[in-house]
Amino acid sequence: MIKQLFYIGYFLLFFLLNTSTYAKEPPNIILLFVDDWGWMDVGYRNNKYVTPNINQLKEESMEFTRTYVSTPTCSPSRASILTGKEAVRMQMVRHIVHSNPDGSNDDKFSFWKKDPVQRPSINYLPLEEVTYAEALKEYGYYNAFFGKWHLGHAPYHPIHQGFDEQNGTTNWGHPKSYYPPYFKSGFGEMKEGEFLTDNLTNQTTSFIKDYDKKQPFMISLWYYGVHGPHVGKKEHLDLYKGLPKREQQYGAMVTAVDESIGHIREALKLKGLDENTIIILTSDQGGFFSQAPLSGGKIGGNTLGEGGARVPMLIHTPDPSNHKKEIDTPVSTIDIFPTLMEIASHKKYKNTGIQGVSLWSTINGKKKIKDRNLYFMRSYEDQYASVIQNDWKMVKYHSGKKTLFNIALDQSEKNDLYTIETKVAKELEDALLDWENEVYSTWEKVDPPVN
């Protein structure tokens, strides 16, 4: 009898533990994607920035401290997070250029005058690429998109890529101001004096407040901030007194995004959705200003440096066992796509057509992330490709220069070990060359324009 009661109690406990709100109902998901927000541009890592809401989210999340963007620049970073694929596989190695007055571009490819090898870069995300919005539809999700797209003009907008609605989306890669009128054309409703980040936030919180569908939602809020022009929210400028004017404006922009995140979390709580919503916060590339102690950043010819390719990433789940955790294994924003699939399906996701790997088992504490190489490529200047293997990182230049760093011991990338750690250098050099050749073999050949 005692034995029978034991087993009954065991199975009852098992049932209760596995019939949480999340287990019974698919969770809502919110992806907060900040533009040009550097790894060091957050209060819990750099007290220059006032970010109480992000600091709180950090306390209630798992942070992947070495998250990278495979092509750290505007359009490719978006293509890769949407598809789980390295953007270079789609022949997108630069941001999309706006050639027409309305921000559109009629050419399939564009070239960059300062690119030493004149590589063509595609001007839109091909419609045949499968986005996470399209894939989530198969699991019953309603997909809402807010903000910056920068993956092609109107025929390639979010509503043509699996999203059920789009809001605040234009053909443009950045605004001309963060106060109205924000863009030359195409934005939609604006209120006098309303900061652009607030506009998108209010649209997002209204969506949450009014949402009445039975199906779960996936919100993609892709901020235009903190991309230039650096125009800070006026109410936050005093928080950054004493800084150079441009950094003062930038700091106020960061705090506006932080304020936005607070409003969104409060809207979820008021709606009673906070216990069944997963929040992912990350960035599309490194920061415009110094990312010290990391080297490099968005500009300056070292975008593949840690300050340019490494970005913040917090993943919040209602499960408190996932809070206050840090994972220092290198991961990539391409990993978000398969992670979303496993969140939605409760099943292991297999897709040999993407390079991303799911982080869900790691978030749940079931498995460690497997070791793998992460590859990077962009095409603006001499520095163009790199590979990360655990703590090692090789960077490659068109001029023939190669550098090798141990990031665990030297995150500032000051000590080049290329001629010292020759065995590691050879292994990474061969791996990078093999990867490049594989990528190039799929590219469409396009001749650069004759000047």
pLDDT at 185: 85
Residue 2 lies in a domain: no
Numbers of helices and strands, H then E, in the chain: 11, 17
Q: Which of 201, 230, 77 is nearest to 150 (CA)?
A: 77
The rounded radius of gyration (Å) of the Cα atoms in the chain is 22
Residue 20 lies in a domain: no
Residue 289 lies in a domain: yes
pLDDT means per 10 residues, the chain with 451 residues, are 46 41 76 98 98 98 98 98 98 96 95 96 98 98 98 98 98 97 91 97 98 98 98 98 97 98 98 97 97 95 97 96 94 98 95 96 89 96 98 98 98 98 98 98 92 67
Q: Do residues 333 and 80 make contact, with C-beta atoms less than 8 angstroms apart?
A: yes
Alpha-carbon span 203 to 327, nearest angstrom: 33
> What CATH code is carried by the domain that includes residue 413?
3.30.1120
285 Cβ partners below 8 Å, 6+ apart?
Answer: 36, 69, 72, 73, 74, 77, 298, 303, 308, 309, 311
| 173 and 56 fall within a common domain | yes
| 326 and 432 fall within a common domain | no
Pairing of strands 165-167, 121-122: unpaired
Asked which of 334, 365, 396 is the last residue of a domain, the reply is: 365
| 94 and 206 fall within a common domain | yes
Residue 304 lies in a domain: yes
pLDDT at 17: 41
pLDDT at 366: 82
3-class state of residue 102 by DSSP? coil
| 193 and 265 fall within a common domain | yes
| 395 and 261 fall within a common domain | no
* Two tokens, residue 84: 């789980």
Asked which of 365, 395, 417 is the last residue of a domain, the reply is: 365
Q: Give the single-character DSSP code of 57.
A: H
Asked which of 365, 398, 426 is the last residue of a domain, the reply is: 365
Q: Do residues 135 and 356 make contact, with C-beta atoms less than 8 angstroms apart?
A: no
| 253 and 391 fall within a common domain | no
Query: What number of CA atoms fall less than 13 Å from residue 319's CA on the CB side?
Result: 15
| 131 and 33 fall within a common domain | yes
Phi, psi of 27 (to 5 degrees): -75, 150
* Two tokens, residue 240: 């950054």
| 129 and 214 fall within a common domain | yes
Tally of domains in the chain:
2
pLDDT at 450: 79
Alpha-carbon span 263 to 223, nearest angstrom: 14
Residue 208 lies in a domain: yes
| 402 and 324 fall within a common domain | no
pLDDT at 451: 67
Residue 274 lies in a domain: yes
| 175 and 248 fall within a common domain | yes
Residue 371 lies in a domain: no
Structural domain span for residue 198: 28-365
| 341 and 392 fall within a common domain | no
Residue 242 lies in a domain: yes
> What CATH code is carried by the domain that includes residue 73?
3.40.720.10
| 186 and 297 fall within a common domain | yes
